[in-house]
Amino acid sequence: MPVDSLAAALRSLQGDNPHTVEEGIDFLRARIGGLEGADLRSAVDGLSSLFYVDTGDRPDLQPLLDRAVDILAAQGTRVVSQLIDLMKGSDIKCHLYLARTLGAIGPPALAALRRAIATEEDPYSRSFALFAVGKVRDPDVRETLPEVMGSLFHPDKEVRDSAARALGKIAEVVPAGLLTTERRAELFDALFRALSDLQPPVRAKAVRSLGKLARAGYLTPDQGQRLRAAVLKLLGEDEAHEWDRAYIVRREAEEALRHLGLRKS
């Protein structure tokens, strides 16, 4: 049957045939801008349901999921709260696409993401809000620094891991000159403390992000020296010769040395 209504479009999104799914997506692309209230929520739910598809099993649907991301991202603030709500209870496949969509929305999503990071009780959802922040490729993402740095002290290791990663992503898109000297010092100190985290993935993300700070020109000469000494210690290249036992930490430490100009690529 032809897709000639919202209900028909939503049904088509549940199909296995890529052509059928595409018909529903095309219908929603053309009309979602004019939807409001319950109809808009239904359309967002329907498009987001595609994010549960395992593209490893269904690579033929990958372009359609990418199209769904573009359609949702184009709706901006109208859909941000619902996308964040959808993170609760979804699986990792869906989370990754929701985070990517929020990142594509960019600055209009930041206020809601900051609230989620500060108030969300579920560590899993909070970690993916942090992941979404790392997907925002706009200098305005610096607004999230207080919440992201604070998450390095969260009791859940996944939250700390995501926070350490996000800080490096922020440094990639925020020129050093847009941050005060005090803020850059806070950022360095927060990540430097995370080098002592008990969890290897958190230490690895911390040293990776510190390397990105060095590459982006965030560090003072003194901070650069402190980081150099810490990285050499992680690698067992200091006087103590006691390296970090986690390979993932040592691997990221090697990359940080390259950013510090102490290793060749």
**pLDDT 10s digits, 136-193:** 999 999 999 999 999 999 999 999 999 999 999 999 999 999 999 999 999 999 999 9
Report residue 246 as tokens. Answer: 């986690």
Tell me how far apart the alpha carbons of residues 143 and 170 are, in angstroms, rounded to a whole number: 10
* Cα angle for residues 116, 213, 166 (degrees, 5° grid): 20
**Any domain includes 234:** yes
Start-to-end Cα distance in the chain:
58
The domain of 181 spans: 175-265
**Residue 4 confidence (pLDDT) above 90:** no
Q: What is the pLDDT of residue 263?
A: 57
CB atoms within 10 A of CB 56: 8
**Any domain includes 241:** yes
**Residue 210 confidence (pLDDT) above 60:** yes
**Any domain includes 9:** no
Q: What is the pLDDT of residue 261?
A: 79
**Residue 264 confidence (pLDDT) above 60:** no
**Any domain includes 231:** yes
Query: Measured in whole angstroms, how far is the alpha carbon of residue 4 from the centre of its chain?
Result: 36
Total of domains in the chain: 1
**Residue 1 confidence (pLDDT) above 60:** no
Helices (H), 135-240: 145-150, 157-173, 181-194, 200-215, 221-234
Would you place residue 242 in the very low, low, confident or very high pLDDT band (cuts 50, 70, 90)? confident
Average pLDDT, the chain: 94
Buried b (16+ CB within 10 A) or exposed e, 173-189: bbeeeebeeebbeebbe
Mean pLDDT value across residues 119-138: 93
Which residues lie closer than 8 Å to 121 by C-beta, 6 or more apart? Answer: none
**Any domain includes 158:** no
**Any domain includes 219:** yes
Question: What percent of the chain stands above pLDDT 70?
Answer: 98
Q: Which residue has the tokens 């209504």?
A: 5
Q: What is the pLDDT of residue 150?
A: 96
What is the number of residues in the chain? 265
CA dist list (Å): 159 to 94, 97, 173, 205, 219: 18, 18, 21, 12, 25
**Any domain includes 85:** no
**pLDDT 10s digits, 47-103:** 999 999 999 899 999 999 999 999 999 999 999 999 999 988 778 889 999 999 999
**Any domain includes 193:** yes
Tell me how far apart the alpha carbons of residues 187 and 209 are, in angstroms, rounded to a whole number: 10
**Which of 38-42, 124-128, 203-207, 260-264 has the least mean pLDDT?**
260-264
